[in-house]
Structures are given as structure tokens and as C-alpha cells.
Structure 1
Amino acid sequence: MDKKYKKSIDLENFIFVILFFGFFIPIGKVMGFANMLQTLMNSSYDLLINTCLYIMAISVLTGSLAAIFSEFGFIALIDLILSKIMKPLYNLPGAASLGILNCYLSDNPSILTLAHEDNFKVLFKKYQLPSLTNLGTSFGMGLIVTTTLGALPIENSGKAALIGNLGAVVGSIFSVRIMQTFTKKFYGTSEMVMIDSIKDLPKNCRIIRNGSIGERFIEALLDGGKSGLNMGASIIPGVIGICTVIMLITNTPGPKGLYTGAYNEGVPILPWIGDKLSFILKPLFGFTNNESIAVPITALGSAGAAMGLVRNLATNNLLTANDLAVFTSICMCWSGYLSTHVAMMDAIGAKELTAQAIFSHTIGGLIAGISAHIFFMILI
């Protein structure tokens, strides 16, 4: 790649200084600069230990599973069986459904372990592969979100959570399809993903490892685990860098309303923006209380934090079953994508399309919430 050059001093220097300090100085004045710096460092540490290492462990497991699925032809079988469903819905090979399952059972980056398996990638066209980020993120933490919110002491909470899943499916379709309008322009629509190790692969064949069935199983298990480990490590800078800032402008002061420099503190700018947009969001989602607006806004940065808000709303009797359906769909479909999308697009080798992926998924999440509201009115 050719190097790019800029003048040492130009307009960009001054714009950066204004934007950078214009962002952190007001937050520092509210929190106290020492508290803000401590919160940034403590949040980064907490993300590394409790989030990134967890994702890395999940990536090792899913990487091993993906390698075994690839080695013994399960991916090819799923592609054959589900291609007639995945193609019309998502314009993706049937094997992409395994990515949905991976992320539903764990978290957004789990789909990347599949995306690095040669027998999986070779099924895709170049423009289709980056949209896996949007597909996987649409179902991130799905099982956790559904069971957690479906168990809240709200009438019809279980049914509402399941309806939220339907909304997430609709949102995922829009997110993937919108993303593909950008990737088609960037990659074209005809070129397949080329894998050097299997470029001469005969038609209707797959590559396997040498040795007996047992040896192939162990080697696939270890190779997949190593791939997952590398994948988990590669997303750490993006998760820590992006999520720390998102949490800083999403969270609230400490338990007594004071800033202490703890990891879970911040200035709730995103919820404030959501409150100002409530005149748009309330009719679309059917919310009954202004406090509900904070949940989808918080889900932009952290699905876990958003679920915490939902529990608080339920405790204060500010939650309806319709709200719960919408929260389930949005927490699943967005699932903190602002914190992971940048790292995932980089890891999948399409970081130049990160802005398009984020835009597409923003629309997909909104449609997921609206769809859940409509489904709830029809079905309940």
C-alpha cells in the first residue's frame, strides 16, 4: 500500500484539538478530571478482565467448534439444507446460519471464528463476507437477553421476549441487506472469496487434514482454538478503546450521586439525547414512560447495561409487556454494537467499510424495535 503524506501543520491539527478537548473537558468538569481519568483506566481494566478475556475464552471454544464443523463437513451440510432459507432472507449461503447460532448462544464476535475457516469462507462472494458482522451482531447475547428479560415479573414477559426475537430477525434482515448495498458497490457482485490453500479445489469437494479421524479431530480442535485465541486478542484494542468512551457517555454517577473514579461511572449524554428524541421514539416503539428511552440508547454501547436498566424499570413498575418486547429486540439486535463493530470489521478484513456497517446496523436496530412493537400489537 502506498504511503500517504500530509503537511505537518494544516487545518486538521486545529480541528482535532478542538474536537478532542471539546469532548473531554466538559465531561472532566462534571466528573472532576482526576475522577474522569480514574474512571477511564478502571473501565479499561474491567473491560479487559471481565469482557475481553471472556470473549477470548468464548472465541477459543467457538473457534474449535467451527474448525471441527469445517473438518467433518457439517458446514457444507448446513449450507445445503438451509441455503433455500438464508438466500432469500439474507442473500447469504446457508452456512451463515451457524453464525447466527454462535452469536445467539454467546456474543457478537463469535461469528468471526467461523469467518476465518477456509471451508466456510469459500462459500461466500466477496461482497457477502463483511455483512456477517451485521448478521452476527443482530443475534449477539440472544439467549442471555431472552431468558433474562423473559423472566422479569411482568405479565406476558415470556411471550414478549419471544416476540422481541421476531423483531430482531426482521432487523437483522434489513441490517444485512442494507450493508450489502454498500459492499456490492465496493467489491462487485461476481467475485468469490479466494482462499490460496484451496484455490484448486475440485467442484463439490472440501479440504481436510491428513491422518486418521481421531488425529483430524484433535488437530482441528487445537487449530480452531488457536484461531479463536488470535481472534479474541485482535478485538481487544477496539473493544477497550471504543467501549470505554461509550460507557463514559452512557453511565451515571455512583450510588450516592457522586463521582469517585469507579469503573461504572460516566455522564449520561446518550440517554439525554434519547430523551430529547422521545417525541419520535415513543410513537415508533410504543413506550409509555420517558425513562424507557434510555434502554435502546444504552444498548448502543452495552446490552448488559441496558438489561440492568430494564430490571430497574421493572422494579419501579415503569415497564409494560410491549416495552419488554421492544427492549428484547433492540438489546439483541444492537447488543452494544458501537463497542464491537469497529473491532469486528477490522478483524474480518473490511475496516474500510466500518462506517457503512454501523449505519446499516443503526437502521436495522430501529426496525427491530418497531417490528417488535407491531408484532406485539398483533399477537397479544
Structure 2
Amino acid sequence: MNKLKKKAISLEAFVCLGVLGGVCTAIAKIMGPVNMINTVMGTAHDLLINTVFFIMGVAVLAGALSSVLSEFGVIALINKILYFVIYPLYRLPGASALAVVTTYISDNPAVLGLAANKEFKKYFKNYQFTALTNLGTSFGMGFIVSAFMVAQGGLLKENLFKAVLIGNLGAIIGSIVSVNLMIHYSKKYFKELGELEEETKVEKFVFDTREIRSGSVFGRFLEAMLEGGKIGVDMGIAIIPGVIIICTTVLILTNGMPEGGYTGAAYEGIGVLPIIGAKLNFILKPLFGFSSPEAIAFPITALGAVGAAIGLVPQFIKEGVIGAREIAVFTSMGMCWSGYLSTHVAMMDSLNYRELTGKAIFSHTIGGLIAGMSANFLFSLFLG
């Protein structure tokens, strides 16, 4: 992107100082300056060690898998078989189904390993390719979230399989909304640039040939796997700033003071978002069916890290603030909003479409809300 020139000292410098100073002062007044700094550093360090490196591992495995699948023609096969299912819903090629599967069984950044593969990328128009972030994020950690929620049935003394299934259906609805909104904005963006690739017939999406590596079958397999894994490493490094900066901020605003008071440990916070949730409960209850304002902490925490969000569920069940309906909504919004604030920026940057990040986040925010509302409606319809 071309950088613009501006006067060295302008009003925005003072506004920036005022906003940053005000926010830091407000948090420091609650937590204490030393505790605030220690918590920020501790949270950032823990996110780097336990979240970023985990995501990098996921990206490496996904990159290796996608490279092997493309080398032996599986992606081409998926594109041809699923085109007529995927395109009417998402306006994306059939190969997109692979992004759904890989992110569902792993995490959001798994889609980056696919996106970096030219044999996968060739099926996409430029305006479709930008929507891969929204599609992948809609299903990130879906299997982990679903399995965890089903396992809470013992604690709730209720079979939660149907509730979790409804949550998955809600996430699918949310993903359709998110992806189609993103494609709308993306087409408009490329049209303004004069680079819009117009719609073509179905046959244009299906290629009759594909590139392969030279050598034996085993040699091709090994080379594809290692090259794909290397791409995953690059993708894992690229997401570090987004995860650490945004997730740290969200968690500090979401988590509250521990029972013994502030100690400066990681993941402490000022708990302002649950307070806001309590004020908005008159809206949240009819939309999402939350019986308690504390439940808003789950989707908000999921914005930064769905792994942290599902950790709230057992305590919510023990306190009696959630039931099967909330489990369905949590599953839906947890999947659709699985850490997207902490990964969306980095993922769009990795796809080289940083300028569309705002549109991607807005589209996915709407998609997540629709996912939660859909799960609540479907639960009322089928489970009462």
C-alpha cells in the first residue's frame, strides 16, 4: 500500500495521547499501575507460549495436509463434487469446503495454509479469495467447542447433543451471512480498482489439469508435506501481533478481579464487558435467550479466545446461570466468533488484503450475531 504524507505534528497526535493515557489511567486506577503492567506482560507472554505456538502448530499441520491434498488431486476432486452445493450458499468454489473442514477440526489460521497453496488459490476469483478469512473463522475450533459442550451434559445432568447440533446449524447460518456480506464489499472494492473478475460459467471454475512435483510418489508426498509445513510456520509468525495485542485487550476488559484481589497475574482484568452485558440484558434475552447477564461474557471472551470462553462454561453451570439453550447459543457464537478479533487482522494481512480488514470484521460481527439468534430460534422451534 502507498503511504500518504501528513504534517509531522497534528491534532491526532494529541488525541492519540489523550485516549491512550485516559484508558491506561482508568485501568491502572482499578488494578494498580504495577499490577496492570504485570498483567499485560504476563497475559501477552502466556498467549505467545500457549496460544500462538499452538496456532502455529495447527497452521503447520494444516499447511502440510493441504499441500499433500493438492499434490494428489484431492482439492480438484472436492471442487468438482461440491461446487453445486457450496456456490449457491456462499458464492465460493467447491474447494472452499476444504477450508470448512480444516478449520472445524483445528483453528482459524488453518485456512492460511490452504490460501498459500497456489493449486487451491486458482479456483478463486479475487473478490472470492478475500472471503476465505470469514469462511474459515466461522468454523474455527468447531470440533473442539462442540465436543467440549457435549461433555458438559454430565455436569448439567442433561443430554446436550441436540443443543450442540443446533449450535452448529446456527454457525452455518452465520457463516453464510458473513461470507456473502464480505463478498459484497469485496466486489465493490475490486470494482472501484477496476480489477473485478466478472462471473463466468461453471466450467471456468473447474480446471482440467494441475501441476505436480517430479519424482516418485513417496518423494512427491514428502516434498509436498514439508513445503506445506514451512508455509504454516510463516503463517504462524504472521498472526503473532494480532493475537497478542487484541486478545490481551479483550481479556483485560472481560475478566474480573480474582477473589484474593489483584496480584498482577496473567488474565486478570477489570470486568467491564460483563457489566455492559448486564445493562443490555433486556436486548440480549429476546435475541439470544440468555437467562442471566453473566452469559454475555462467553461470546465477548470468544472474540479474543474461544478456548478461554469455553473455560467459563463449567462455572456458569455450577452457578445455575445457563442451561441447554445457552449451550446451543454458546456453541454457535463460539464457533462463529472463535477468536476472530485476535486473528482476523493478521489473517487478512497474510492474504495481502489489509485494507479490507474493517469490512471483514464488520461482516463477521453481523454473522456471529445472526448465528446466535439463529441458534436461539432453532432451539425454541425444535427443543422448546
TM (norm. structure 1) is: 0.94
Check whether the contact 2:258–2:268 (CA below 8 A) recurs between aligned residues: yes
Q: State the Cα distance separating 1:273 from its structure 2 match.
A: 2.0
Q: Distance in 1 between matches of 2:131 and 2:259?
A: 40
Aligned amino acid, residue 15 of structure 1: V
1:2–1:146 distance in 2 versus 1, CA, 3 Å? closer
Task: Report the counterpart of residue 18 of structure 1 in structure 2.
Answer: 18
Alpha-carbon separation, structure 1, partners of 2:166 and 2:229: 35
Q: Partner of 2:107 in structure 1?
A: 107
Aligned counterpart, 1:125: 125
Structure 2 CA distance for aligned equivalents of residues 241 and 372 of structure 1: 31
| Count of residue pairs brought into register by the alignment | 370
Instruction: Give the secondary-structure state (helix, strand or coil) at the position aligned to 1:124.
Output: coil
Q: Does 1:239 align with 2:243?
A: yes
Structure 1 CA distance for aligned equivalents of residues 245 and 132 of structure 2 = 22
Distance 1:144 1:101 in 2: 13
User: 1:281: how far off?
Assistant: 1.1
Structure 2 CA distance for aligned equivalents of residues 313 and 127 of structure 1: 42
Moved over 3 A (4+): none
1:212 corresponds to which residue? 216
Partner residue of 2:288?
285
Q: Quick check: 222-231 or 281-290, which moved more?
A: 281-290
- For 2:356, which of 353, 358, 362 is the aligned residue? 353
Q: What is the match of residue 70 of structure 1?
A: 70
Q: What one-letter code is carried by the residue in structure 2 that aligns with 1:108?
A: N
Is the 8 Å Cα contact of residues 270 and 298 (structure 1) preserved in structure 2? no
1:286 Cα shift? 1.3
State the secondary structure of the residue aligned to 1:6.
Answer: coil
Distance 1:358 1:275 in 2: 24
Query: Residue 49 in 1 paired to residue 49 in 2?
Result: yes
Shift of 1:190: 4.6
Partner of 1:295 in structure 2? 298
Comparing 51-60 and 151-160, the one that deviates more: 151-160
Q: Partner residue of 1:179?
A: 182
* 1:237-286 C-alpha deviation (Å, 9 max, x unpaired): 22112111111111112242x11111110111222222222111111111
Counterpart in 2 of 1:80? 80
Quick check: 2:126–2:197 contact (8 Å CA) kept in 1? yes
Q: Is the 8 A contact 1:271 1:298 kept in 2?
A: no
CA distance in 1, matches of 2:57, 2:302: 23
Partner of residue 253 from structure 2, selected from 223, 240, 249? 249
Task: Report if aligned partners of 1:67, 1:223 keep a CA contact under 8 Å in 2.
Answer: yes
Which of 172, 190, 197 aligns to 1:191? It is 197
**Deviates further, 175-184 or 281-290:** 281-290
The Cα of 1:67 is off from its aligned counterpart by 0.4
Separation in 2, partners of 1:302, 1:334: 9
Are positions 1:136 and 2:136 aligned together? yes
- Is this contact kept in 2: 1:47–1:240, CA < 8 A? yes
Q: Distance in 1 between matches of 2:269 and 2:145?
A: 24
Deviating more after overlay: 295-304 vs 14-23: 295-304
- SS in structure 1 opposite 2:341? helix
| Paired residues of 2:90 and 2:179 also in contact (CA < 8 A) | yes
Shift in Å, 1:131 = 0.7
Name the stretch that deviates more: 295-304 or 45-54: 295-304
Alpha carbon RMSD of aligned pairs, Å?
1.5
Bigger mean CA offset, 181-190 vs 258-267: 181-190
Give the equivalent residue in structure 2 for 1:311. Answer: 314
Q: CA deviation at 1:203?
A: 5.0
1:305 shift after superposition: 2.1
Q: Does the residue aligned with 2:165 lie in a helix, a strand or coil? A: helix
Q: Please give the per-residue CA displacement for 1:114-139, whole angstroms capped at 9, x wherever unaligned.
A: 00000110100000111111111111
Provide the rounded CA distance (Å) in 2 between the counterparts of 1:91 and 1:229.
30
Cα displacement (A) at 1:3: 4.0
Give, in angstroms, the shift of residue 344 of structure 1.
0.9
Contact 1:250–1:301, Cα closer than 8 Å, also in 2: no
State the distance in 1 between where 2:302 and 2:93 align: 29
Report how far residue 23 of structure 1 moved: 1.3
2:268 is matched with which residue? 265
Kindly provide the CA deviation profile for residues 161-202 of structure 1, in whole angstroms up to 9, marking residues without a partner as x: 11100000000000101111110011238528xxxxxxxxx9
- Counterpart Cα distance in 2 of 1:325 and 1:291: 16
CA contact (8 A) 1:275 1:294 kept: no
Q: Are residue 375 (structure 1) and residue 378 (structure 2) matched? A: yes
Structure 1: tracts of 5 or more residues without a match:
193-201
The match for 1:198 is none
- The equivalences for 1:32-47 within 5 A come to 32-47=32-47
User: Unpaired segments of 5 or more residues in structure 2?
Assistant: 199-205
Secondary structure at the aligned position of 2:381 is classed as helix
Q: SS of the residue aligned with 1:128?
A: helix
CA shift, 1:215, in A, is 1.3
